A and B are shown apart, each in its own frame.
Chain A
Amino acid sequence: MSASAIIFYLISAFILGTGLFAMTTRKIFRSAIWLLFSLIGIAALYFWLQVEFIAAVQIIVYVGGIVVLIIFSIFLTQQSGNEMPKQPLKRVIASALAVVLGFGLTFLQIWKYDFRPTTKSFDWTVAKIGSQMMSTGNGGYALPFEVVSMLLLAAMVGCIVIAMKAAPASSTKKAQEKESSIEKTKIEITEPEISEA
């Protein structure tokens, strides 16, 4: 067994162990931290596969973005020291059974399938990825790129709308109050003129 293979098995044991802890611990903040380690392990696996670009994207987006967002939401919604309530034993056993059987079935199919890996080296460069991402010709990804940019815009607008907390209703109420107060002052101004007349 070469050093590369040993490193691979270490990385995969790390990923699976931390992932399992993230899904089974009952303290939610620890769960988020275990998830962080699992995602870093996946980035290490990408480094081991020598796709450094994806590893960098993984670290930037997942570790730097999503996990921080999750930790913020935990702080905003929970007492992070409290343990989550225990699940009923029936549900735990049923889901564990379903998961183990599903894993066995899927991995049996993978094990029996005869993969024929090619010996050619995987030649990717960031320049290649960029030019194919922007190309509109055969095999180009310009349309999905544009669709994803529209999706990100929609998600951004949607987040703002969801998080606004009924601001439009209160602002319209204030505006109505202002209008009515203006009308009152108008009436107050006009009333003395009438009495004088």
Chain B
Amino acid sequence: MSDVPISHILFVSTALFFIGMYGLFTRRNMVTMLMAIELILNSVNINFVVFNKYLYPDKLDGIFFTIFIITIAAAEAAVAIAIIINLYRSHRSIDVENASEMKW
């Protein structure tokens, strides 16, 4: 436990964040973009827990932030999937390039 330095754990969360960013940049399908957002949120959660555990072990704020982020991510995924399915009903496609009515 103590022989793994904190920067190695932060390497994992940073790499996961940028993998999610890569998915968000390259994908044009709404469901896969939602998956990329989930990966990004998870990397942030790892960061909160690690900082709380290694730097401020007598407090619990990182744990609370992680719990709230997980809750909000669940609500966000539910609303996003409702919107995606509704968009699929009206456009027969969930590609972001095809949903440009509200762009301008």
Question: Do A and B make up one complex?
Answer: yes
Chain A residues near B (Cβ < 8 Å):
1-2, 4-5, 8, 12, 15-16, 19-20, 22-24, 28, 31-32, 35, 38-39, 42, 45-46, 49-51, 53-54, 57-58, 61-62, 65-66, 69-70, 72-74, 76-78, 84, 87, 91-92, 94-96, 98-100, 102-103, 106-107, 110-111, 115-124, 128-129, 132-133, 139, 141, 144, 148, 151-152, 155-156, 158-159, 162-163, 165
Interface size of B by Cβ–Cβ distance < 8 Å?
72
Are B16 and A158 in contact, with the CB atoms below 8 A? no
Contact among A39, A54, A73, A144 for B84, CB-based, below 8 A: A73
How far apart are A145's CB and chain B's nearest CB, in angstroms? 8
| Residues on B with beta carbons closer than 8 Å to the beta carbon of A159 | 78-79, 82
| Residues on B with beta carbons closer than 8 Å to the beta carbon of A4 | 1, 3-4
Interface of B: prevailing SS:
helix
How far apart are A68's CB and chain B's nearest CB, in angstroms? 10
A120 to B56, CA, bound (A): 9
Contact among B3, B35, B68, B84 for A32, CB-based, below 8 A: B35
A129 to B58, CA, bound (A): 12
A20 to B104, CA, bound (A): 34
Contact among B3, B23, B29, B61 for A1, CB-based, below 8 A: B3
| Residues on B with beta carbons closer than 8 Å to the beta carbon of A155 | 75-76, 78-79
Interface string of B58-92 (1 = CB under 8 A from A): 11110110111011111111110111111011000
